[in-house]
């Protein structure tokens, strides 16, 4: 009887943990979906309300690493003019470890085609906030040599340190 009670207890704890993980995944999905919706709507407050105060945004260009203040300054005139950007999530993977989560997603963009977003979220209180978002344009392996050659010729890249 004690063994059966122990098995039932472990099973119920396992189900509870799984349900909790699924809830956190759904909460994170909502944050990321809202991020893309707010960007498409040029909703400055809605967009930046999803970021942690210490957040960093890393763009597709090697020079694009913005703290939150710099990214707001870059974005504000675009959003004020009603010009956001639209990225539609196609696939997404989320991992959660306590109050930290990380993700990768494949996005579709009318401007850039297939893109990838990766990032980290931190849970403060009951809210997940983005602490890092990194947007990239994945390069098919068959095109890598050509792209690397073009990048090597680009004098606008930051110098090596």
Q: What is the pLDDT of residues 25-71, one digit of tens each?
A: 999 999 999 999 999 999 999 999 999 999 999 999 989 999 999 99
- Give residue 88's domain range: 2-153
Alpha carbon distance, N-terminus to C-terminus of the chain: 67
Residue 160 forms part of a structural domain: no
In the three-class reduction of DSSP (H, G, I as helix; E, B as strand; rest coil), residue 150 is classed as helix
The pTM score is 0.81
Percent of the chain with pLDDT over 70: 83
pLDDT at 12: 54
Summarize the confidence of residues 4-19 as an average pLDDT. 51
Question: In which residue are the tokens 């306590």 written?
Answer: 98
Q: Own/partner pairs for 68-76, CB < 8 Å, 24+ apart?
A: 72/44, 72/48, 75/44, 75/47, 75/48, 76/44
Q: What is the number of structural domains in the chain?
A: 1
Residue 78 forms part of a structural domain: yes
Residue 128 forms part of a structural domain: yes
pLDDT at 3: 58
Residue 159 forms part of a structural domain: no
Summarize the confidence of residues 109-133 as an average pLDDT. 96
CB 35 within 8 A of CB 52: no
CATH number at residue 8: 3.10.450.50
Question: In which residue are the tokens 């009670």 written?
Answer: 5
Q: What is the DSSP letter of 143?
A: G
Residue 158 forms part of a structural domain: no
CB 52 within 8 A of CB 132: no
Residue 101 forms part of a structural domain: yes
Q: pLDDT tens digits, residue range 67-111? A: 999 999 999 999 999 999 999 999 999 999 999 999 999 999 999
126: tokens are 């009951």
């Amino acid at each position: 009887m004690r063994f059966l009670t122990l098995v039932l207890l472990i099973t119920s704890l396992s189900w509870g943990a799984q349900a909790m993980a699924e809830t956190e995944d759904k909460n994170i999905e909502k944050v990321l979906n809202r991020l893309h919706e707010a960007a498409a709507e040029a909703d400055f407050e809605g967009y930046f309300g999803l970021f942690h105060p210490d957040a960093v945004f890393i763009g597709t260009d090697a020079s694009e690493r913005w703290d939150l203040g710099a990214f707001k300054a870059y974005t504000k005139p675009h959003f004020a003019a009603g010009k956001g950007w639209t990225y539609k999530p196609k696939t997404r993977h989320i991992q959660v470890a306590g109050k930290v989560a990380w993700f990768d997603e494949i996005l579709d963009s009318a401007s850039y085609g297939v893109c990838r977003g990766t990032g980290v979220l931190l849970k403060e209180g009951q809210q997940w906030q983005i602490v890092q978002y990194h947007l990239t344009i994945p390069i098919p392996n068959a095109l890598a040599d050509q792209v690397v050659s073009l990048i090597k010729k680009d004098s606008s890249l930051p110098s090596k340190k």
